[in-house]
Amino acid sequence: FRTFLSLSVLTPGLVWTVFDARAQTCSQAPSCSQLGYTKTVSQCAGKNMIKCPFDTSLAYCEDNVIISCASLGFTDTIAECPGSYVKCPADSSKGKCDFEASPGDLKYSLRTSDHNGWLLCNGRSYSSSQYPELYSAISGSFGSYLPNYSGYFLKAAATSYAYSFKTAQQAGLPNITGRFPQGIRNYTPSFYGAFYNYAYYRSYWAPDTATDGLWLGFDASRSNSIYGRSSTVTPQNYSANVFIYAGRKK
* Region 185-197 average pLDDT: 73
Instruction: Round the average pLDDT of the chain to a whole number and report it.
Output: 79
pLDDT for position 49: 82
CA dist 193 to 31, 62, 178, 221, Å?
A: 103, 91, 4, 9
At residue 204 the predicted structure's pLDDT band, cuts being 50, 70 and 90, is: low
* Region 40-55 average pLDDT: 85
pLDDT for position 11: 36
Stated pTM of the model: 0.60
Q: Domains of the chain: which residue ranges?
A: 106-171+239-245, 178-222
Q: How confident is the model over 59-115, as pLDDT tens digits?
A: 888 776 666 788 778 899 999 999 999 998 878 899 999 999 999 999 999 999 999
Question: Where does residue 73 rank: exposed (0-12), middle (13-18), buried (19+ CB within 10 A)?
Answer: exposed
Q: Which residues pair with 122 in a beta bridge?
A: 148
pLDDT for position 99: 94
CA distance 90 to 47: 9
Please indicate whether residue 24 or residue 240 has the higher confidence score (pLDDT): 240
* Region 202-215 average pLDDT: 62
pLDDT for position 242: 98
119-123, 148-152, 156-160: range with lowest mean pLDDT: 156-160
pLDDT for position 208: 64
At residue 124 the predicted structure's pLDDT band, cuts being 50, 70 and 90, is: very high
